[in-house]
Amino acid sequence: MARVEEFLNTQVATRPYAPALSDSIGTAWSYAELNLAAEDAARMLTEAGVRRGDRVMMLSENCASAVAMLFACWKMDAVVLPVNARQTASEVQRIVDHAKPAVMIFTTAVSSDAANHAGRMGAEVVSGAFGAVHVAQFESAPDPDLAGVAVLLYTTGTTGDPKGVMLTHDNVRFGGMASANLRSMTPDDLIYGVLPITHVFGLASVVTAACYAGAAVRLEARFSAAGLFTALQDGVTLLSAVPQMHALLMQYTKEQGLVSLGSARLRYVSSGAAPLDPAWKRKAEAFYGVGLQNGYGMTETTAGVCATRNPLGTEDTSTGPALPGVEIKIDDSVPGGSEGSGEVLTRGGHIMRGYYRNPEETARAVDADGWLRTGDLGRIDAQGNLHILGRSKELIIHGGFNVYPPEVEAALNDHPQVIQSAVIGRMHGGDEQVLAFVQIAKGDTVSVEELRAFVAERLAGYKRPARIVLATELPAAPTGKILKHRLLSAFADQLD
């Protein structure tokens, strides 16, 4: 079986001194140095008791040490489990309880959140060619069912319970190669890496793709408009971001007295995680001076399903045709479907092996012929381009992060004065807001501020509602089921 670390081996064998990555704390490694860091990290993990088939959970934000840990795990045939350090303690614990990792790594040098988790877990600092991280060990056992799995990426199921998406080495290689080829990456490219490598896009479409192509990545732990502006003036050639990041950069540039970016080397820009508005697309292309590309994918598809390669000025706002090696089709028999539109199904080398320790959910998601039901509604036009019409699932994508309403609702419902709640998304300023509608009893005195403080202890920042509307009654069917499609109209007078 081909393995992801073979991409790194190729670069070391052919271009050892070429730049591989840099990060926000001043680390700058060539491919040879990245390989040495990964080998030293593998030695450290072996000494910590990690064996083939073990899970290594990494609470991190983007940095060189995190990339070294990815390749270390792959070299050892261990399974890496990246988790955003901005998750709360309860969110992290649910994943720990399900995955049962042998070791946890905390990238404390770049993340105060990782440092807080490390302190809570009693982790100890360890240093090496990979930098300085904190490490905690646990009782665990290798799992033979994970043979060939490179990565476990956790999403949240419809019940609010975590689901571990098993991506194999073949999956991650497929995603990396598809992304590199789509963007025509070369060793001359410098890729801006602010999308978290704890999520599939940053891991497969940025880090893995760059390693396959021999390009360099400029890693950033957290987004800032000023940081992105500087990077684009310093030679970044490829930028993949979400609409909110583009909007903040354009505002920052305007505040500097400039009407356009004027980057000499930027050649590729994409905007993901939300539909493109034609007027906004034209504005962004005028700002960057290059075509704005769009795409469609999800964790279960190793990021990519479709993507555009449009020249500057194209009016197309689709997500493009299927990537090479990917099949798509429409099932119009589902609720919300009609002739020409329906649920998007996809098949190919990008499809996950399944959900870890959850064969029932796996069977519901992937049929016997290998077709993944995405839960998204779409249509395919005469040119073969996929247009996403909406989500049949309730997934909200806020700032590029997945937010699952049942998880937010569960946090709100824990409050003793909350009867029930309903969470939906709403597009606002190029991003999707999290809106919460909370039912309380007549005469109760709970305030919005109290609920905000309550959920802040239970949810990562990007999952917390932008608006909380209190009500003594929510629109409901005779069965008592909340009618979410009526929430916006029912409470229009309380929303901006």
For 70-109, how does the pLDDT look when each residue is reduced to its tens digit (9 = 90+)? 999 999 999 999 999 999 999 899 999 999 999 999 999 9
Question: The tokens of 155 are what?
Answer: 């999403």
In our burial notation (b when 16+ CB lie closer than 10 A, e otherwise), range 7-32 reads: bbeebbeeeeeebbbbbbeebebbbb
Is residue 242 a part of any domain in this protein? no
pLDDT at 276: 74
The model's pTM: 0.85
Domain limit, last residue, from 182, 212, 227: 182
pLDDT at 417: 86
The long-range contacts involving 274-282, CB below 8 angstroms and separated by at least 24 positions, are 274/242, 274/243, 274/397, 274/427, 274/430, 274/431, 274/432, 275/317, 275/388, 276/317, 277/317, 277/430, 278/315, 278/317, 280/243, 280/430, 281/317
Average pLDDT over residues 420-440: 89
pLDDT at 392: 63
Q: Which of 296, 303, 341 is nearest to 318 (CA)?
A: 296
Cβ 434 vs Cβ 408: under 8 Å:
yes
Domain count, the chain: 2
pLDDT at 183: 97
Is residue 321 a part of any domain in this protein? no
Is residue 197 a part of any domain in this protein? no
Q: Which of 237, 236, 306, 229 is nearest to 275 (CA)?
A: 306
Domain limit, last residue, from 182, 201, 226: 182
pLDDT at position 157 over 60: no
Asked which of 204-208, 439-443, 468-472 is least confident by mean pLDDT, the reply is 439-443
Question: The tokens of 457 are what?
Answer: 């202890």
Q: What distance in Å separates the CA atoms of residue 220 and residue 223, rounded to the nearest whole number?
A: 7
Average pLDDT of the chain to the nearest whole number: 92
% of the chain surpassing 90 pLDDT:
73
Is residue 159 a part of any domain in this protein? yes
pLDDT at 29: 98
Is residue 153 a part of any domain in this protein? yes
Is residue 84 a part of any domain in this protein? yes
268 pLDDT tier (thresholds 50, 70, 90): very high
Residue with more model confidence, 195 or 243: 195
Is residue 412 a part of any domain in this protein? yes
Question: What CATH number does the domain containing 424 carry?
Answer: 3.30.300.30
Q: Which residues contact 139 (CB under 8 A, 6 or more apart)?
A: none
pLDDT at 479: 43
pLDDT at 85: 95
Q: What distance in Å separates the CA atoms of residue 125 and residue 106, rounded to the nearest whole number?
A: 9
Range of the domain at 447: 396-494
Is residue 338 a part of any domain in this protein? no
